Chain A
């Protein structure tokens, strides 16, 4: 049994569900869960339940491991050697994509980003090519497979394992090339779009920035994040950080509710791997109805408040 490392992401001291899905992607392997922040003892039960044979708290002799991406990449490279890993997987979150690319450059190893399916043993991965129009199957010919998995693309399945805890301090220092001067906090408690299990998106038909409150009220009831189409962002109704699609974010939630989104090919590029897509649109001929799962023809200002009330 080959040994696979999984970089665990946490939020408020708990393992993110997206990381559990990444562990499931490596099922059948001896899983080493690598934790960079928080108390591994507190994460132990969950990680053991989903397959971690070992839970390693990662640190660096050169300082706070979470303070800079290059230091964390250096520590991960050391962990790959220390635990003799044949694969290291992470989440294709904003931070995960950045970190794994740094790691791949540092180790000069191939990297498959944003996979939707993975065969760790066969070092083969499936991922989107051409803005979600095609899937590419890539085989990696290297001693170590590095890959990030699209959040929510692989559903987490319990697979109880020992979950023995350990600590590893890598002997690495920050190269000091990039210095984080400041972190500007966005809206507190907002669920990150790329990792959200449910997303409600408002398109041009939302008509004004303040009308997103209507979607936020609905989202709050089901733990969803709120997104926007390019048309809505370009019209100034929403910031670019909320944009789903080409030139915005790629998402793959289990439920995607598009409200007043026409359904341009560039929008689908960012959300077509969602499990279930629902569209609410006034125009019965809107292109989105041809490519989604369930449709309601209606004014979003009539339908959404009723949906919020009944959820």
Chain B
């Protein structure tokens, strides 16, 4: 069984984002990691291959530095990687999906594709759907439980208010992974060393016939979200604090 896991190279969620220019950020001084949701996809893929045999291939569209992020996935047990390089900090989800499709077609289409439920940088929540659309495959997102057997995938996902759906699809299909699916492993030192020797194929967007300038979503501006300057502390006895809090919420803020 061949499984592709789409992994995005994203700033660590604890990193401070410093805006540069109108619509860019300083990416040279911050740490980049595997998009947290993608880790659930890597873990699930590696577990499936450990059980059924086959190989896990990490596919990433990103800057050349994303090589290090792919290595993190290889250290978790993936066999090899494919990096489609881009120049810009952001790429339209449509183009990312086209690049992922083209890279997979070139490498040989997999039996199963994982992505994370979304990426923590652009929070666009759509690349997996577009990839599935371009490949003509079924897609289910926010999957927290999965069984793959006899050419079928059965996925469980939360649909709001704690309700869950159980969805069946034929393979190949695209699964957007989220927390609950598994506990991603922490690679051990020998795994990290082994990952350094694994193969990563590199190609550019242009090599795949994709023009980054053709995106239909233009990032015009990036600005910090205003931070609150600190709480107004409500003092006194518990009775007094609660009374004052309710008054403020009702009368000043009008939110109660």
A-to-B contact residues, CB < 8 Å = 93-95, 97-98, 101-102, 104-106, 108-114, 124, 127-142, 177-187, 190-192, 194-195, 198, 222, 239-241, 243, 246-248, 254-255, 265-266, 269, 272-273, 275-279, 288-298, 302-303, 306-307, 310-311
**Given the complex, which residues of B lie within 8 Å of A124, measured CB to CB?**
220
Contact B125–A306 (Cβ < 8 Å): no
**Given the complex, which residues of A lie within 8 Å of B166, measured CB to CB?**
180-184
- Residue among B25, B128, B216 with the most chain A CB within 10 A? B216
Interface residue B148 (Cβ < 8 Å from any Cβ of A): no
Contact A101–B125 (Cβ < 8 Å): yes
Contact A130–B158 (Cβ < 8 Å): no
* Beta-carbon contacts under 8 Å, B207-248 to A: 216-225, 227-228, 230-234, 238-239, 241-243, 245-246, 248
Q: Give B129-140 as 1s and 0s: 1 = Cβ < 8 Å from A's Cβ atoms.
A: 110111001111
Contact B125–A114 (Cβ < 8 Å): yes
CA distance A73 to B223 in the complex (A): 33
B-to-A contact residues, CB < 8 Å = 11, 13-14, 16-17, 19, 23, 25, 36-37, 92-94, 120-126, 128-130, 132-134, 137-142, 144, 154, 156, 158-170, 173, 178-180, 216-225, 227-228, 230-234, 238-239, 241-243, 245-246, 248-249, 253, 255-256
Choose among B130, B163, B228 the residue that contacts A293 (Cβ–Cβ < 8 A): B228
CA distance A19 to B174 in the complex (A): 30
- Residue among B92, B126, B246 with the most chain A CB within 10 A? B126
5 smallest beta-carbon distances between A and B, as pairs: A186-B162, A105-B133, A295-B231, A177-B138, A101-B129
**Given the complex, which residues of A lie within 8 Å of B23, measured CB to CB?**
136
Chain B's nearest CB lies how many Å from the CB of A39? 22
Choose among B16, B133, B219, B233 the residue that contacts A136 (Cβ–Cβ < 8 A): B219
Contact B126–A104 (Cβ < 8 Å): yes
Contact B228–A142 (Cβ < 8 Å): no
- What residue in chain A is nearest B254 (Cβ atoms)? A254
Contact B219–A137 (Cβ < 8 Å): yes
Contact B14–A265 (Cβ < 8 Å): yes
Contact A292–B228 (Cβ < 8 Å): yes
Contact B120–A248 (Cβ < 8 Å): no
Chain B's nearest CB lies how many Å from the CB of A264? 9
**Given the complex, which residues of B lie within 8 Å of A269, measured CB to CB?**
13, 120
**Given the complex, which residues of B lie within 8 Å of A293, measured CB to CB?**
228, 231-232, 253
- Residue among B23, B140, B168, B231 with the most chain A CB within 10 A? B231
Known A277-B228, A306-B238: A181·B167 in contact at CB below 8 Å: yes
CA distance A142 to B156 in the complex (A): 34
Choose among B161, B167, B227, B234 the residue that contacts A295 (Cβ–Cβ < 8 A): B234
Q: What are some 28 contacts across the A-B interface (CB < 8 A)?
A: A105-B129, A105-B134, A108-B133, A129-B121, A130-B121, A137-B222, A137-B223, A138-B217, A177-B139, A178-B169, A179-B167, A181-B168, A183-B163, A190-B162, A194-B160, A241-B162, A247-B36, A276-B255, A289-B231, A291-B228, A294-B232, A294-B234, A297-B233, A298-B241, A302-B238, A303-B241, A307-B245, A307-B246
**Given the complex, which residues of B lie within 8 Å of A139, measured CB to CB?**
217-218, 220
